[in-house]
Amino acid sequence: MRFLSRLSRSMQPLSRYIMTRGSLLSCALLVSALLMMVWGGAHTPDTRMLYEYADYTVTMAMAVMGAGLFGALAMEDMLRRAT
């Protein structure tokens, strides 16, 4: 946790905004996938489609997290070169 707090303090505000919003969106997607799995209950043929949607949602959360982190790093690099 100390590493993340040090990293957060050393980042530009725009980069920090991109990173935090990507993290929050990723967490929201993971929570929605968890809710789908809990609501579906046992894995039966009736709930197969729901579990597939939950799997896609987890994949989307990983993509959003990667894009948010890569975007924040790219923005930080551009802002440091500009100043």
φ, ψ of residue 44 to 5 degrees: the values are -120, 170
Q: What is the pLDDT at residue 34? A: 95
Measured CA to CA, the distance from residue 38 to residue 51 in angstroms comes to 10
Q: What is the predicted pLDDT for the residue at 82?
A: 81
Q: Does 30 fall in a domain?
A: yes
pLDDT at 22: 92
Question: Cβ distance 58 to 9 under 8 Å?
Answer: no
How far from chain centre, in Å, is Cα 47?
A: 25
pLDDT for 7: 62
Q: Would 61 be classed as within a structural domain?
A: yes
Determine, yes or no, domain membership for 71.
yes
Q: What is the pLDDT of residue 13?
A: 84
- For residue 23, is it within any domain? yes
> Domains in the chain: how many in total?
1
Q: Would you state the pLDDT for residue 6? A: 66
CA torsion angle 45 50 55 61 (round to 10): -170
Q: Which residues of the chain have pLDDT under 50?
A: none
> What's the domain range around 26?
12-82
Please tell me the predicted confidence (pLDDT) of residue 57: 96
